[in-house]
Amino acid sequence: MRAPGTSTSTGVSPDEAGNEIGAAWASGVPEAAGAGSPVAGEDLLVGHRAPAVRHLLSIADLGRDGILEIMRLSDAFAEVAERPIPKVPALRGRTVATVFMEPSTRTRLSFETAAKRLSADVMTFTASTSAAVKGESLRDTVETIDAMGIDAMVIRHHASGAPLRVTDWVGASVINAGDGTHEHPTQALLDCYTIREALTARRDGAVPADMSGLRVAIVGDIKHSRVARSNVLAFAALGADVVLVAPPTLMPASLEGWPVTATGDLDSTLGGLDVIYLLRIQSERLGEVLLPSLDEYHWRYGLTRARADALKRDALIMHPGPMIRGVEISPEVADMPASLVTRQVRNGVVVRMAVLFHLLGSGVM
């Protein structure tokens, strides 16, 4: 597993990237295509930089510039999503396969919706109804799917590093939709986009340069969370000040190289936060007893109403889902206006449209 802070192929580490503040979140945002235009419009492609890599395995594959490019493209696809027919022909003739070896509601549906809205054909593989239950290996499964002629494979797997192995076996672009405790890059991208959108609305439409000046806490099961790893890389690359908050048993053994600070004391951090990002306890990955009880966890680390009241008035509350109400967040807080959870899901579709277009788009709309 690559630790956050290290580079993959062409990516830059957040340490390096965080220092090159200057390129703006706002830069190159295309003019929205006219309401009556039949497709997103050529504007979408103005200044579109072809990706340096074919695959998206880690946020480090994108680096700061790649993240900003996805934000820019997402703005254009958000405009498409507002249309009566929210569909463009950008990936007509292309095929996207979703290969999910772990349960998923939002990520798989979100990728499939995104692909369909780009007019791609979609092939769905679900482990429980496939030859995987007969003992077929991952390699044989993905080679079989690839042989049918696909352009992208969106893969979720319980083993960290599985998508990287798959890149050796298939010709398609591979997109990591969550691998074990490693990374979940599109979740981080949609989270960055959601924060950017909330700040833009607050600033009367002025898109902020990046996340510098923002203090973000990621709270909970950091040790087993692929969302935390991708979000640390993404938030730090955009200049945010990231603090990890967890009991010692749910904190990674070493944070060397992570561009973060860490604490076990949630209550003392609340008043200084601009964003609080809650994580689900990854019960399926715990393998040992790391918590006295979920009630105790809620009492020490859950976002209760009293803790929500201790946040700044305009602090943003986020969670990747699925939320376990009454554990990491109280039901009342989950439904507060400051909670962006539904907005995160909604933005997931446009951000994944941007990712698919970025990796597969030929430049012809």
The residues binding ligand NCD (CB under 6 A) are: 106-107, 178, 184, 187, 226-227, 280, 320-321
- Residues 6 or more apart whose CB falls under 8 angstroms from that of 186 comprise 56, 107, 111, 175, 176, 177, 348, 351, 352, 355
Pairing of strands 173-179, 121-126: unpaired
Task: Report the nearest approach of ligand NCD to the CB of residue 88 (Å).
Answer: 25
Which CB, 94 or 352, lies closer to ligand NCD? 352
Cα distance between residue 42 and residue 312, in whole Å: 41
Task: Report the nearest approach of ligand NCD to the CB of residue 186 (Å).
Answer: 8
Task: Report the nearest approach of ligand NCD to the CB of residue 219 (Å).
Answer: 13
For CA atoms 17, 213, 301, 332, the dihedral sign is negative
Which CB, 90 or 345, lies closer to ligand NCD? 345
Identify the helix (H) or strand (E) that includes residue 179: strand 173-179
Task: Report the nearest approach of ligand NCD to the CB of residue 321 (Å).
Answer: 5
Among 323, 234, 224, 315, which residue's Cα sits nearest to residue 280? Answer: 323
Which CB, 55 or 184, lies closer to ligand NCD? 184
Task: Report the nearest approach of ligand NCD to the CB of residue 45 (Å).
Answer: 29
Which CB, 178 or 259, lies closer to ligand NCD? 178
Residue nearest to ligand NCD (CB): 280
Task: Report the nearest approach of ligand NCD to the CB of residue 110 (Å).
Answer: 9
Which CB, 171 or 321, lies closer to ligand NCD? 321
Which CB, 40 or 232, lies closer to ligand NCD? 232
Cα distance between residue 304 and residue 297, in whole Å: 11
262 close to 232: Cβ distance less than 8 angstroms: no
Across the beta sheet with 173-179, what order do the strands follow?
Answer: 121-126, 95-100, 152-157, 173-179
227 close to 187: Cβ distance less than 8 angstroms: yes
